[in-house]
Amino acid sequence: MHGETTFSDYPAPGPSHFKYSTVKGVFLQSEDDTDDKKFDFRKQNFGLIERESENDHEGRHEEKSQWQRFESYVRHLNEKSGHGSQVKVLFLGRHGQGWHNVAESKYGTHAWDCYWSLLDGADGITWSDANLTGVGTSQAQDVNDLWKEMLPKGIPAPETYYVSPLTRTIETADVSFKDLELPHDRPYKPLIKELLREVLGVHTCDRRSTASHITKVFPHISLEPNFAEEDPLWEADYREPFSARKHRLSLFLDDVFANDGGRFLSFTSHSGAIASILEAVGHRSFALETGGVIPVVVRAEKVKGEREKPPREPSEGPPPCEVPPPLVLN
């Protein structure tokens, strides 16, 4: 029997939270002069910058690959961090193309936002808790191929795989990681986290399935403790504003940094959620295509006091349309 957790009491308030910052000079995506519209992480080793780091004089680094030197550098940063400070590497992956993405392109963004996204589907397409398309599966396979190429070169495998509860993200994570030859102490065991979701409310593609359905379709996943049977966060008439979304993803990060001792973590999520994570950790904005991945080196410093919750703002997005607007292609 699943608990009845709600956003208002999840996670439990604490006496402290984290202040985040991005460690620059490690990945190209963190640099201000990288054009996110042209950058291809698949052709540039996830964006890893070939560079000498401050700890390269320690040990025989000339015999190590660039990825092995990167892992040593991250551990070096943690060793020199003061009390209450830590560094983690987050591999932020956006799901591959879903049927909701196809529908938005078909109807146009304005019509999608005010009319079609409120439906479960139309014209032979179902987008409520959307599945991946064939294109989306291929995009996730591209990520899988890249990991297969990088693992023998020493890229540190994730120690934890956090995944949004939406179907398209679980499917993406499975294709990306399920058949990789991973270290025995770092197997692919996806952990479903409620707060790692896309913008909440109104759009049915962002309403998750029941816990029973998720575990039936994906029996290999684990649900976090107190994961509710029914979706406790999605509201049919209220679209989560940006400030609330950033707060929610900041709470998620606080949970992870407080409770996960790993240094290399995978988050499989959504464009809006990833944008809020990047904002929360002080990273530059960086648009991701469907199936895109952006690694970020994040420093967290523990600070006293609960994280301030923003006031409830008006629903984001246009008011609903009673009839479909005229078709305007994106």
Catalytically active residues, by annotation: 95, 198
Rounded to 5°, the CA angle 21-25-29 comes to 80
Q: Is 99 helix (H, G, I), strand (E, B) or coil?
A: helix
CA distance 192 to 171: 12
Q: Which class for 240: exposed (0-12), middle (13-18), buried (19 or more C-beta within 10 A)? A: buried
Q: Which class for 224: exposed (0-12), middle (13-18), buried (19 or more C-beta within 10 A)? A: middle
Reported as half-sphere exposure (CB side, CA atoms, 13 A), residue 29 has a value of 28
Buried b (16+ CB within 10 A) or exposed e, 178-213: eeeeeeeebebebebbbbbbbbbbbbbbbbbbebee
Place of tokens 């994280």: 307
Nearest to 18 by CA among 251, 297, 273: 251
